[in-house]
Amino acid sequence: MKVDGRVERGEQTRRQILRRAAEIASVEGLEGLSIGRLATELGVSKSGVFAHFGSKEELQLATVRAAAKIFVDEVVTPAGGATGLARLERLLDGWLAYSQRRTFPGGCFFYSVQAEFDARPGRVRDSIAEFDRSWAELVRTAAADVPGLVGDPAQLAFEVVAYLDLANARSVLHGDTDAYARARTAVRRALDRATRQA
Amino acid sequence: MKVDGRVERGEQTRRQILRRAAEIASVEGLEGLSIGRLATELGVSKSGVFAHFGSKEELQLATVRAAAKIFVDEVVTPAGGATGLARLERLLDGWLAYSQRRTFPGGCFFYSVQAEFDARPGRVRDSIAEFDRSWAELVRTAAADVPGLVGDPAQLAFEVVAYLDLANARSVLHGDTDAYARARTAVRRALDRATRQA
DNA sequence: CCTACCGATCGGTAGG
DNA sequence: CCTACCGATCGGTAGG
Tens of pLDDT, residues B104-160:
999 999 999 999 999 999 999 999 999 999 999 999 999 999 999 999 999 999 999
* pTM as predicted: 0.95
Say what the pLDDT of residue A164 is.
98
Distance from the Cα of A4 to chain B's closest Cα (Å) equals 42
Assigned CATH for B5-194: 1.10.357.10
Tell me what percent of the residues of chain B surpass a pLDDT of 90. 88
Q: Do A166 and B169 touch (CB under 8 A)?
A: no
Rounded CA separation A53/A62 (Å): 8
Q: Which amino acid, B169? A: A
Q: Under an 8 A CB cutoff, do B32 and A28 touch?
A: no
Measured torsion, CA atoms of residues B7, B10, B12, B18, in degrees rounded to the nearest 10: -140
Residues 50-109 of B with CB under 7 A from strand C: 51
* Nearest CA-CA partner of B116 in A195, A120, A183, A147: A120
* Minimum CA–C1' distance nucleotide for A34: C10
The residue ranges of every structural domain in chain B are: 5-194
Q: Is the pLDDT of residue B1 over 70?
A: no
8 Å CB contact between A143 and B140: no
The full 3-state SS of chain B, as one line of letters, equals CCCCCHHHHHHHHHHHHHHHHHHHHHHHCCCCCCHHHHHHHHCCCHHHHHHHHCCHHHHHHHHHHHHHHHHHHHHHHHHCCCCHHHHHHHHHHHHHHHHHCCCCCCCCHHHHHHHHHCCCCCHHHHHHHHHHHHHHHHHHHHHHCCCCCCCCHHHHHHHHHHHHHHHHHHHHHHCCCHHHHHHHHHHHHHHHHHCCCC
Asked if pLDDT for residue B172 goes beyond 90, the answer is yes
Contact at CB, A26 and B119, closer than 8 angstroms: yes
Lowest mean per-residue pLDDT among B6-20, B56-70, B111-125, B168-182: B6-20
Does the beta carbon of B195 lie under 8 angstroms from any beta carbon of chain A?
no
Q: At what angle do helices A153-174 and B109-117 cross, to 10 degrees?
A: 50
pLDDT at residue number B7: 61
The answer on pLDDT for B24 being more than 90 is yes
Q: Which residue is nearest to nucleotide D3 (CA to C1')?
A: A45
Chain C nucleotides reached by a protein CB under 7 Å: 1-5, 9-15
Q: Measure the CA–CA gap between A14 and B147, rounded to whole angstroms.
A: 59
Do B113 and B29 meet the contact criterion of CB atoms below 8 Å apart? yes
In whole angstroms, what is the distance from residue B75 CA to residue B90 CA? 8
Q: Using an 8 Å Cβ cutoff, are A105 and A112 in contact?
A: no
CA distance B153 to B139: 9
CB A63 within 8 A of CB A48: no
The CA radius of gyration of chain A, in Å to the nearest whole number, is: 19
Across the range B25-30, mean pLDDT stands at 96
Q: For residue B101, give every residue at least 6 positions away whose Cβ sits within 8 Å of its Cβ, in sequence order, or none.
A: none
Q: How far is C-alpha B61 from the chain's CA centre?
A: 14
Q: What is the dihedral of CA B110, B114, B115, B118, to 10 degrees?
A: 180
Instruction: Fill in the DSSP letter of residue A195.
Output: H
Sign for the CA dihedral angle at B6, B9, B11, B17 comes to negative
Q: Do A120 and B182 touch (CB under 8 A)?
A: no
Instruction: Give the contacts of B44 (CB within 8 A, at least 6 positions apart).
Output: B13
Give the mean pLDDT per block of 10 residues along chain A (198 residues): 57 91 96 92 91 94 97 97 97 98 97 96 97 98 97 98 98 95 98 86
